[in-house]
Amino acid sequence: MRQFMIRRAFYAIVTLFILSLTIFTVVRLTGDPVTLLAEPGARAEDLDRVRSEWGLDRSWPVQYLAFVKNVFTGQLGESFNYEMPVSTLYFQRLPNSLELALAATLISFLIGIPAGIISAVRVNSFWDNFGKIVALLGLSIPGFWLGLVLILVFSVWLHWLPTSGQGGVQHLIMPALALGWYFAASLLRLTRSSMLEVLRSEYIKLAHLKGLPGYVVLAMHAFKNALIPVLTLAGINLVVMINAAVIIEVIFAWPGIGRLLYEGIFQRDFPLVQGVVMEAGIMIVLINLIIDLLYAYIDPRIRLSK
Amino acid sequence: MGPSRLTRRAVLRSAAVATTALAAPFIHARAAAVVPRGKMVLAWHTNIAPRWLDPQQHDGGATTDNFLDVVHDALIKNFRDQLYDHLALAEHYEFTEDAKSATFRLRPGLKFHNGAPVTPADVKWSYEHYRGAWASVLHERTDGAEIVDDRTLRFEFKRPFLDFPRLIGTANVSGAGWVVPAKYYEEVGPDGFARKPIGVGPYRLVAHEPGNKLEFEAFEDYYRPVHVKQFTIISVPEAATRVAMLERGEADIMYFVPGELIDRVKNNPKVMLAPVVSGSWWLEFPGFQDPKNPFHDKRVREAVSLAIDREAINDAESGGMGRVSGNWINDDVQYAIDWPKFPRDIAKAKALMKEAGYPNGFNVDWVTPAPNYYSRGERVVSQLQNIGIRSKLQVMERAVFQKRLEGGLKEWPGVQIIMNGARIGASWANWYESNFKCGGYLAADRICLRDLDAKFEKYMSSDQPAERKTLAEQIQREILEDYYFVPVFRHAFVNAIGPRIAAQRWQDVFQTAVTTGYAYPWEDIELKEAEAAEK
């Protein structure tokens, strides 16, 4: 187990190293951020001054070392546009993103799991077909379109909800619905297939033969086991929702990490993009590492396999 | 500083100073009489960078001024229809005839938001420590700033500096004339200041969510009346959301209504469109100096101009709310000349093409519009087909476009047309220097007309206003007569005003529309409910 843990930790470090190198290079390939700052009347010497202030006149290796050093110190560098440490910005926005992501996860659970279970239990019935349509719509309707339609209907026409921004529960409903909708569809599909697989297994048949009531078999035996892959997906979805709900956060002017990333990309704010991507990467790598370790703990075959 | 001569200008200036001084007590009395009430919200169209709250870091672009005018104030500034010399913090100023010194006398009793008095030492510190756009020029040409008395400061220049008032007085050009509290700035540093700025402007910052929201409260010691008590600027990047906010009353002013949403706003009787005529757009022909290039022939360039349907482009791109004008330089800057609208005449254009040896037209490799205005490039492509010029549209992301402009001719091989646009403040020379001059920041080596550049150098080194004006007009005339640039139109930066704002017409809110697309002076904006409460 110890060897397994060391190996997995090593893989995690290598992954983060590759991620850091990739994001560092890719943001620089997109162009010079100072040219985006430049208005047509800007003067070359003023732009050179900005380049120097932002450290962009240094060689790439020097800039990379500074970036790695910043990652290790936890500061993640200073944003060009915000003139603040990226870590401060990230953790300022994190609660907002968490709030939205948790609400969206709740909505995706409330829609996706029951619908998935009903679809699996009533295969090829009206409810199954309805569930398939919901899943199809969820996966194919673009989030930005759904968001704008929600604003138009519930804010502009009905005057029920505020259009955008962060505040009380009222502000949370539409962005959470628009964000959770897509993930509800993916949860629905996974719950349905997972439940179908479990419902066809021998121990479920045995449970029925033992005379257990249908709902007990469903809830206590089938659903519990079908839930494992669903929860794994939900965990990954949550990380994605926290860090990359870009479109929804932009449409609803939600001050979260996705919007921060969008602004960073839009403004070529290298430290900001690098920092947000590294934070997201660290989160995903850590969650995967924990899941791997838990799997290995639960199933000895995993830790013994090379 | 030498003694000032008695000239007509000096007499007029003295009269203006006297009038201002006599009016000052009444202005203060009026300021005291107004009680700020209510709350207004501005839906801002991009993210909000904290550096825009720090005049010391002015990037020379037309964005910072929206924020500077909320929190800060300048010695002199653009205001309503005054291009640069509205007396703001300065009670009066004197720019000597020989342009070698400028003296500013501060209004009495000015205070920063933290209660500290505004002193000439703050003005001097702000100018000397300024490091934003044009800092190098300003510092290089300034011999020193001398504190004359507790309200007066004099700048001395090494040689005549005719552009000084325009450079420091135009809010979207430089921040050197905007005053920050020296002691506080030194205490908190640039980053700290950008996060918690203290100024002398009509509103003080009370809350700051970086990138997202700014909340202000009326500064009651401001020397002009401030009508609205609370002012919030929220960043809402999505245009449809901004429009919805305005429709629901969540926002009172919104910037940038894109073309596809103009009709929706127009058809809503509760809200008002505010189409501010903004940047100028023109066509240019990189590499036209090469005799093999079809655009080398002036007749071909003229044919292009005759083929362009400017009114149609204005209708489609700005809902007809832009302006078809003759010059490629905006008329709000010094020495920009008026030029008649260019006609559209396809028959004449075809005849010119035939005369030039292109009866069947020719192929253009690319027409490249400045991002993200791709649709107007498409219209040019389609209109040029009428005279046999066959071309394709090339779209680029903004940074790539800028980089290629900077890269010069080698980045634009073959036969190309660029559709470019700009809004640059203060002087026509800033337009020429960046977009036309050989070696200019954006022009690079695409144009390079030595005789015009020589005249421009003469203009720059001249300290005779009459000579400068003549040269400026001559250069602009030659560019237009020879179709080196083909002006297209001035587009509209379309904004909108919600029903709570007291305004009969949009110009009541966008009072400084001659020089900016934004709604300042902020202190003048009033709410209907506040009006009613006052009555």
Nearest CA in chain A to B237: A250
Q: Is the dihedral of CA B286, B291, B293, B294 positive or negative?
A: positive
Residue A37: pLDDT band by 50, 70, 90 thresholds? low
- The answer to whether residue B12 scores a pLDDT higher than 80 is no
Q: Say whether A293 sits in a helix, a strand or coil.
A: helix
Q: Which residues of A touch B137 (CB under 8 A)?
A: 43
Q: Say whether B147 sits in a helix, a strand or coil.
A: strand
> What is the Cα gyration radius of chain A?
24
- The answer to whether residue A40 scores a pLDDT higher than 70 is no
**What is the C-alpha separation between A146 and A35, in angstroms, rounded?**
34
How do beta strands B272-284 and B485-497 pair? antiparallel
**Residue from A47, A48, A51, A82 whose CB has the most chain B CBs within 10 Å, to mutate:** A82
Q: Which of B62, B235, B236 sits opposite A39 (nearest CB)?
A: B62
- The answer to whether residue B15 scores a pLDDT higher than 80 is no
**Residue from B53, B261, B402 whose CB has the most chain A CBs within 10 Å, to mutate:** B402
> What is the Cα gyration radius of chain B?
24
Residue A38's pLDDT is what? 65
Cα atoms in the Cβ-side hemisphere of radius 13 Å centred on B5: 6
Distance of CA B130 to the CA centre of its chain: 20
Does the pTM of the predicted model rise above 0.90? Answer: no
Nearest CA in chain A to B251: A163
Q: Could you report the per-residue pLDDT of B360-413, keeping only the tens digit for each?
A: 999 999 999 998 889 999 999 999 999 999 999 999 877 788 888 888 999 999
Q: Which of B520, B508, B527, B423 is nearest to B86 (CA)?
A: B520
Who wins on pLDDT, A292 or A39? A292
Contact A240, A228 (CB under 8 A): no
Contact B457, B468 (CB under 8 A): no
Q: How far is B382 from chain A (nearest CA, A)?
A: 27
Question: A270 in contact with B at a CB cutoff of 8 Å?
Answer: no
**φ and ψ at residue A283, rounded to 5 degrees:** -60, -45
Residue B14's pLDDT is what? 47
Residue A143's pLDDT is what? 86
pLDDT above 70 coverage of chain B, percent: 93
**What is the ipTM, given to two decimal places?**
0.81
Nearest CA in chain A to B430: A41
- The answer to whether residue A147 scores a pLDDT higher than 90 is yes
Who wins on pLDDT, B157 or A4? B157
Mean pLDDT across B150-176: 95
Q: What is the largest CA-CA distance in chain B?
A: 74
Who wins on pLDDT, B227 or B25? B227
Q: Which of A69, A31, A5, A19 is nearest to A243 (CA)?
A: A19
- The answer to whether residue B5 scores a pLDDT higher than 70 is no
Mean of the per-residue pLDDT values of chain A: 88
Cα atoms in the Cβ-side hemisphere of radius 13 Å centred on B24: 17
Q: Which A residues in the span 233-262 are in contact with B, Cβ-Cβ below 8 Å?
A: 250-253, 255, 259-260, 262
Contact B76, B92 (CB under 8 A): no
Nearest CA in chain B to A32: B399
Q: How far is A74 from chain B (nearest CA, A)?
A: 19
Contacts of A225 (CB under 8 A, 6+ apart): A198
Q: How far is B279 from chain A (nearest CA, A)?
A: 10
A37 contacts B236? CB cut-off 8 A? no
Residue B244's pLDDT is what? 95
B62 contacts A82? CB cut-off 8 A? no
Contact B222, B70 (CB under 8 A): no
**What is the C-alpha separation between B305 and B308, in angstroms, rounded?**
5
A83 contacts B190? CB cut-off 8 A? yes
B244 contacts A155? CB cut-off 8 A? yes
| Burial grade of B510 (CB within 10 A; 0-12, 13-18, 19 or more) | buried
Q: How many CB pairs under 8 A join A and B?
A: 152
Q: Which residues of A touch B210 (CB under 8 A)?
A: 82, 84, 89, 92
pLDDT above 70 coverage of chain A, percent: 95
**What is the C-alpha separation between A217 and A145, in angstroms, rounded?**
40
b/e string for B379-403 if b means 16 or more Cβ within 10 A? bbbebbebbbbebebbebebbbbbe
- Among left, alpha and beta (phi > 0; psi -120 to 50; other), residue B115 is left
The pair of structure tokens assigned to A143 is 């989030």
- The answer to whether residue A222 scores a pLDDT higher than 70 is yes
Q: How far is B434 from chain A (nearest CA, A)?
A: 6
Q: Could you report the per-residue pLDDT of A111-135, keeping only the tens digit for each?
A: 999 999 999 999 889 999 998 888 8
User: What crossing angle do the helices spanning B259-266 and B310-318 adopt, rounded to 10°?
Assistant: 70
Mean of the per-residue pLDDT values of chain B: 91
Q: Say whether A78 sits in a helix, a strand or coil.
A: strand
Q: Which of B233, B348, B134, B68 is nearest to A47 (CA)?
A: B134
Of B16-25, B45-54, B481-490, the range with the highest mean pLDDT is B481-490
Residue B8's pLDDT is what? 44
Residue A306's pLDDT is what? 55
Q: Which of B40, B59, B34, B36 is nearest to B214 (CA)?
A: B40
- Among left, alpha and beta (phi > 0; psi -120 to 50; other), residue A211 is left
Q: How far is A286 from chain B (nearest CA, A)?
A: 29
CA angle B266, B272, B277 (to 5 degrees): 90
Alpha helices in B319-397 (DSSP H): 346-355, 374-384
A46 contacts B212? CB cut-off 8 A? no
> What is the amino acid identity at position B402?
Q
Give the count of beta carbons closer than 10 Å to the beta carbon of residue B12: 10
B248 contacts A155? CB cut-off 8 A? yes
**What is the C-alpha separation between B164 and B141, in angstroms, rounded?**
9
Q: Which A residues in the span 80-139 are in contact with B, Cβ-Cβ below 8 Å?
A: 81-84, 89, 92
Q: Could you report the per-residue pLDDT of A75-110, keeping only the tens digit for each?
A: 888 898 888 899 999 999 999 999 999 999 999 999
- The answer to whether residue B21 scores a pLDDT higher than 70 is no
**What is the C-alpha separation between A144 and A246, in angstroms, rounded?**
10
Element (H, E) at B281: strand B272-284
How do beta strands B228-235 and B82-87 pair? unpaired
- The answer to whether residue B10 scores a pLDDT higher than 90 is no
Contact B172, B62 (CB under 8 A): yes
Residue A216's pLDDT is what? 87
The pair of structure tokens assigned to B440 is 């200019």
A250 contacts B173? CB cut-off 8 A? no
Place of tokens 């010695």: B75
Q: Could you report the per-residue pLDDT of B238-283, keeping only the tens digit for each?
A: 999 999 999 999 999 999 998 889 999 999 999 999 999 999 999 9
B61 contacts A38? CB cut-off 8 A? yes
Q: Which residues of A touch B421 (CB under 8 A)?
A: 40
Nearest CA in chain A to B433: A41
Who wins on pLDDT, A295 or B511? B511
Residue B16: pLDDT band by 50, 70, 90 thresholds? very low
Residue B31: pLDDT band by 50, 70, 90 thresholds? low
Q: Which of A102, A93, A251, A252 is nearest to A162 (CA)?
A: A252
Q: Which residues of A touch B48 (CB under 8 A)?
A: none
- The answer to whether residue B26 scores a pLDDT higher than 50 is no
Q: Could you report the per-residue pLDDT of B290-329, keeping only the tens digit for each?
A: 999 999 999 999 999 999 999 999 998 888 999 998 999 9
Q: Which residues of A touch B173 (CB under 8 A)?
A: 41
Place of tokens 């919805």: B244
Who wins on pLDDT, A303 or A248? A248
Mean pLDDT across A259-263: 91
Q: Which of A99-113, A230-244, B203-217, B340-354 has the lowest mean pLDDT?
A: A230-244
Q: Could you report the per-residue pLDDT of A1-14, keeping only the tens digit for each?
A: 788 888 888 998 99
Q: Which of A265-274, B71-80, B186-195 has the lowest mean pLDDT?
A: A265-274
Contact B172, B61 (CB under 8 A): yes
A36 contacts B398? CB cut-off 8 A? yes
B424 contacts A41? CB cut-off 8 A? yes
Q: Which residues of B touch A268 (CB under 8 A)?
A: 399
- The answer to whether residue B532 scores a pLDDT higher than 70 is no
Residue B219: pLDDT band by 50, 70, 90 thresholds? very high
